[in-house]
Chains A and B, each alone.
Chain A
């Protein structure tokens, strides 16, 4: 996927997604309409605390994993 110059291409849970460049994880959370509680995010394999979402910027080809609870175990 090629993105316009003001957008970057990232991966969210294994799916290619575009987002405005200079976006933070908080911006992505808004774009994905994530709930306020019950989710956690890892960026390139490292957990990003919710308190740091606003200051953690995404880069082209960032790999984001968004997890929550599911029935099981």
Chain B
């Protein structure tokens, strides 16, 4: 049970707004414990050459947990590679979901906006439900939506950095102008970052390193699940505006005269 309505992406519905990735996981057993603790509905996986041991074990575990699988195009550096990888993922998994991730280089791991836009347009045209991983640029987010993305996934900060949300103003602007769900992806370091993403109006949060590289991954997964709920509720509640000076919360009249 979650304290929020389900996340809708195109014609898909997910009970949880926390998507936990498999990247950087240390063992299948630990990943399994974290996925359960996160109470997630969906996890993201890469597409790689078949490995009789690793591939089958992961596939069977995700089936056992009845999780939706969001294949990604991690490892792709061009739209062409991403499109080919997405089609292989659809054939292997029988899903139209794809997280388009086109990285510019190994050093920054930042997404290549132009290649991501090309891949998004081509895959949306081919009938995929594209969730596009992007920088936190509001204009690029708008272009991705116009190109057919079913969800846009701006980064908070670089992959694996744990720096949280470096430009909350951009995330807020992206959310304000979007007609599709905005899911914060990359850079989450701890629970408060996930809560902040939701407070800014994001529809969900995707994490991987934050959980899988934590000292106690299942406990961090649980913390993030609670943070996403807290952030959603706080956003729904409508926070007070920030002011530069104090504003009394007690009545100024009726004060007893003492001495």
Contacts and interface: CB of A to CB of B under 8 A. Distances in A.
Interface of A: 13-14, 32-35, 37-42, 45, 47, 49-50, 65-73
B134 to A, nearest CB: 14
B88 A70 contact: no
B208 A68 contact: no
Given A50-B91, A68-B55, A39 B50 contact: yes
Contacts of B84: 42, 45
Name B's interface SS.
mixed
B23 A67 contact: no
Given A33-B52, A35-B56, A37-B59, A69 B88 contact: no
Interface of B: 21-25, 31, 44-52, 54-56, 58-59, 62, 69, 71-72, 74-75, 84, 87-89, 91-94, 99, 101, 208
Contacts, number: 99
B37 to A, nearest CB: 17
Nearest to B49: A13
B22 A72 contact: yes
A13 B52 CA distance: 13
Contact of A38 (B22, B25, B74, B93): B93
